[in-house]
Amino acid sequence: MLELLISTEWLGAHLGDPQVVVVDTRWYLRGKRGIDEYRAGHLPGAVFLDVDTDLADPPGPGRPGRHPLPSHERFAAALARIGVRHGALVVGYDDEGGAVAARLWWLLRYFGLSVGRVLDGGLAAWKAEGRPLETADAARRPASRLALAPQPGLVVDKRRVVELLREPGTLLLDGRPADRFRGENETVDARPGHIPGAKSAFVGDNLVEPNGRFLAPAALVERFAALGANEAKTVVCYCGSGVKACHDILALTLAGRPDAVLYEGSWSEWAADSGLPAELG
């Protein structure tokens, strides 16, 4: 599964390939905007996709959490705008070791496209090697909209999570930082804590160092075995809003467990439902 990760060396040698679409996915909860960081310096030729407007539908009453999955139409339009054609390879990156870029990888997979990759080490690795950046918005020729085929088996909703919690062999992995998992630092969602029975699987621990490259596959196998993935019948990944949980799904795939599913609404939906239990500690 190592082909899901793209090295800086490979990407540096293929930046001029029109069939390689490099996508900056930087996104932040608060304090700064991804588009501003993109315009301050990005990989040569990289285009920008926004989590809030391209990789998610707007939240609202009746919608699951802060980042509902984008509609077929929204995601197809985003891909067409940045020039993704048949045969293209889409390489996402960010400045968090792929924690946001994995959302793009997962969405491509969810919509039936096996063309998504993540730049291993992201922007930090690129800059550490002294590779160039540019500030001008990249101009790519728009493409026709691709035919997308959503794979509903890759995602679960709140009702299904409740059902799975009653079934033996279910493993819930929470990708948020450990302090938010324990309920010690909740400033984003309605309640502190986590889904009862879930295990803490902070996405940053999939990396060799903060914002760095992924652990080797053998190390990822060991990490998820310790969390119970080997024995689990069903593995469900969630985070605050279903964005960074995709990093755990990618890491599990690299570890040879490609069948983990995403809880779309994640903690932002669960915490907002006062009828559902929350666990602290």
Catalytic residues: 239
Q: What is the DSSP string of 176-244?
A: S-HHHHHTS---SSSSSSB-TT-EE--GGGGBSSTT-PBPPHHHHHHHHHHTTTTT-SEEEEE-SSSST
Q: What is the DSSP letter of 173?
A: E
State the pairing for strand pair 234-238/116-119. Answer: unpaired
Q: What is the DSSP letter of 67?
A: S
SS3 assignment, position 131: coil
Distance, CA of 24 to CA of 110 (rounded, Å): 20
The residue type at 146 = L
SS3 assignment, position 59: coil
Distance, CA of 245 to CA of 265 (rounded, Å): 11
Locus of tokens 């045969």: 87
Cα three-residue angle 54-57-61, rounded to 5 degrees:
160
CA 14 to chain centre: 24
Instruction: Specify burial of residue 56 (Cβ count, 10 A radius: 0-12, 13-18, 19+).
Output: buried
CA proximity to 68, closest of 107, 113, 28, 16: 107
CA atoms within a 13 Å half-sphere pointing along the CA-CB vector of 87: 3
